[in-house]
Amino acid sequence: MTSFRQRLLRRMSPAIDPIEVRLNLAAKAEDARVIESELKGTTLRVYWEVFKSPKPLGVRQVQRLIRFSSPSTALYHLEKLRELGVARKDEHGRYQPVEEIKPSQFRMFLRIGRIILPRFVFYAVFFVAAIFMYIAQSLLTGSETNVMALIFGSSAALVCVYEAIRIWRDKIV
């Protein structure tokens, strides 16, 4: 008896071996674990700078941004990123991220263009806007405001603002 997953794989592409697909997925998961284990400390700080930069960074730029004592230290960490496959070096010797990866330290942040913000900022904005809209609606319609709704909404907004500030202060760089 074949599983639904196996039947679906055969229907989608009969030429692809399901065992090969599983091996590829396992290899990708293993690569992600290796990257996660190697991307720590100073190397993670270097990746953070390369990740948030809108254009490729050179060795001297990284040295200045992170305040390394010598360019060889910056080069070491940039080459480590290149060997891990998360950054590439262009013909001018500058580095840029190959793809966006999500180490555990980055999962609490969202990147929107050049801006990187803690996820809790969006939750905080939502709850604060909901409270203001609730109060405005109550005032405009002349209806009575529910104190419990205000307490729960304010509590959620305060927790989200606190968490966003805490995560921003504890960020990598």
Based on the fold, state whether residues 147 and 119 are members of the same structural domain. Answer: yes
| CATH number for the domain that contains residue 95 | 1.10.10.10
pLDDT at res. 102? 61
- Residue 146's CB is within 10 A of a number of other CB atoms, namely 12
Q: Does residue 136 surpass a pLDDT of 80?
A: yes
Cα–Cα separations (whole angstroms), residue 113 to 48, 110, 117, 118, 147: 15, 10, 11, 14, 39
Q: Does residue 94 surpass a pLDDT of 80?
A: yes
Q: Decide which of 101, 127, 159 is a domain's last residue.
A: 101
CA 173 from chain center: how many Å? 14
Q: What's the CA gap between 72 and 59, in Å, rounded?
A: 8
171: which 2 tokens? 């960020």
Based on the fold, state whether residues 160 and 80 are members of the same structural domain. Answer: no
CA 112 from chain center: how many Å? 10
Q: What's the CA gap between 145 and 132, in Å, rounded?
A: 12
pLDDT band with cut points at 50, 70 and 90 for residue 31: low
The three-point CA angle 106-110-116 to 5° equals: 90
% of the chain exceeding 70 in pLDDT: 72
Q: What's the CA gap between 71 and 65, in Å, rounded?
A: 11
pLDDT band with cut points at 50, 70 and 90 for residue 173: very low
Based on the fold, state whether residues 18 and 80 are members of the same structural domain. Answer: yes
Based on the fold, state whether residues 72 and 120 are members of the same structural domain. Answer: no
Based on the fold, state whether residues 141 and 89 are members of the same structural domain. Answer: no
Residues 6+ apart with CB under 8 A from 78: 46, 50, 59, 62, 87, 89, 95
pLDDT at res. 44? 81
Based on the fold, state whether residues 76 and 92 are members of the same structural domain. Answer: yes
pLDDT at res. 104? 62
Based on the fold, state whether residues 116 and 91 are members of the same structural domain. Answer: no
Domain span holding position 87: 4-101
Amino acid of residue 160: C
Q: Decide which of 101, 120, 136 is a domain's last residue.
A: 101
63: which 2 tokens? 């040295």
Q: Decide which of 53, 70, 101 is a domain's last residue.
A: 101
Q: Does residue 70 surpass a pLDDT of 60?
A: yes
Amino acid of residue 112: I
As for how many domains the chain has, the answer is 2
